[in-house]
């Protein structure tokens, strides 16, 4: 009798396992079918807009947000402005504003963002786009792409810094949700604090705070917040996590690639650059970041090997649920 009960129990557990596995396979196939239907219904113009949009964003390290450890990425889009504080700007500034606003790259980004925001209700729960005024440049707006898990993890890892700067108790999820609902992330939530912004851009705590300290001292900012024993290295400078000649070569190849016809246009993954930011190149933190982003890049290259660029980006960004 005991043996029979044991057999029945094993049979029941095995049956549950197979039912669970069948459900997972069924849901995955169903979701893939929904996504394929969605992708095939995109117009040629939408595919072009989105391909160009994500190519430029990947060039600005958004790939490390979508597929890696970077919490968020930002991209500036220009809006033509004739006036500055109700006064006509100097002619050279008007000319620059006109050029930046109406150059093809700026148009590609605007068109792509307008295309992708139509489908924001289908986004995977782990990602979101924000668009807000750039507090550091009145002529631009910022497109901000956020990996929610990485974003929340960085806040929780540095919760003391965030609570001290913002002068209130912080719940990372609530802070992010406020921004998704319309509160400006950089201006209202982070108070334009370069240290907090830098940490959320994935530059490392010490690097971010060092930049904040140097920036505050350069601007003679009397409200410099206590930086808790952060020592700014004499080697602190704009730093790329790889050889500068290699970066220049990669960027040149990317720019040449962008001149090709749309038919051949998909992001040149082989020439992805690592993030560039102010850092102490000799610090343990920076060397660790270099290792992390190089591993991310290798993983991204493997994902995109012989795969359609736009399809794979949207497949990871968009999620259909029954």
Lowest mean pLDDT among 22-26, 230-234, 303-307: 22-26
pLDDT at position 251:
57
Determine the distance from the C-alpha atom of residue 311 to the mean position of all C-alpha atoms in its chain, rounded to a whole number: 18
At residue 239's C-alpha, the angle toward residues 236 and 242, to 5°, is: 140
Condensed to tens digits (0 to 9), the pLDDT of residues 167-212 reads 999 999 999 999 999 999 999 999 999 999 999 999 999 999 988 8
Condensed to tens digits (0 to 9), the pLDDT of residues 71-85 reads 999 999 998 888 877
Q: What is the mean pLDDT of the chain?
A: 80
Query: Alpha helices of the chain — where are they, by DSSP H?
Result: 2-41, 44-59, 63-66, 91-102, 104-117, 148-157, 159-166, 172-180, 194-200, 205-218, 244-258, 284-304, 309-317
Condensed to tens digits (0 to 9), the pLDDT of residues 220-265 reads 554 555 555 555 555 555 555 665 566 556 656 655 555 554 434 4
Sign of CA dihedral 143, 147, 148, 153: negative
Share of the chain above pLDDT 90, in %: 40
Q: pTM for the whole thing?
A: 0.80
């Amino acid at each position: 009798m005991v043996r029979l009960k044991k057999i029945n129990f094993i049979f029941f557990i095995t049956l549950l396992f197979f039912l669970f596995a069948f459900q997972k396979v069924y849901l995955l196939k169903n979701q893939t079918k929904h996504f394929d239907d969605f992708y095939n219904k995109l117009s040629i113009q939408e595919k072009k807009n989105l391909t160009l949009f994500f190519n430029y964003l990947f060039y600005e390290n958004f790939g490390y947000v979508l597929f890696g450890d970077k919490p968020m990425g930002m991209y500036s889009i220009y809006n033509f402005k004739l006036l500055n504080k109700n006064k006509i700007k100097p002619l050279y500034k008007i000319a620059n504003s006109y050029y930046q606003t109406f150059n093809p790259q700026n148009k590609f980004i605007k068109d792509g963002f307008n295309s992708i925001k139509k489908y924001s209700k289908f986004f995977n729960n782990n990602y979101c786009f924000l668009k807000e005024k750039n507090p550091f440049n009145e002529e631009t707006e910022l497109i901000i792409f956020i990996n929610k898990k990485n974003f929340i993890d960085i806040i929780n890892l540095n919760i003391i810094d965030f609570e001290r700067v913002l002068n209130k108790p912080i719940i990372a999820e609530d802070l992010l949700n406020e921004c998704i609902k319309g509160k400006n992330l950089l201006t209202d939530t982070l108070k334009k604090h370069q240290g907090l912004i830098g940490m959320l851009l994935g530059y490392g705590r010490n690097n971010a705070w060092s930049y904040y300290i140097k920036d505050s001292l350069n601007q003679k900012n009397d409200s410099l917040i206590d930086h808790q024993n952060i020592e700014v290295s004499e080697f602190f400078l704009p730093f790329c996590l790889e050889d500068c000649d290699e970066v220049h070569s990669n960027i040149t190849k990317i720019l040449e690639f962008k001149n090709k016809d749309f038919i051949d246009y998909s992001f040149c993954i082989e020439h992805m650059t690592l993030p560039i930011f102010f850092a102490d190149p000799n610090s343990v933190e920076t060397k660790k970041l270099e290792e992390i982003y190089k591993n991310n890049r290798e993983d991204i290259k493997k994902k995109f090997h012989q795969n359609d660029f736009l399809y794979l980006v949207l497949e990871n960004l968009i999620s259909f649920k029954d």
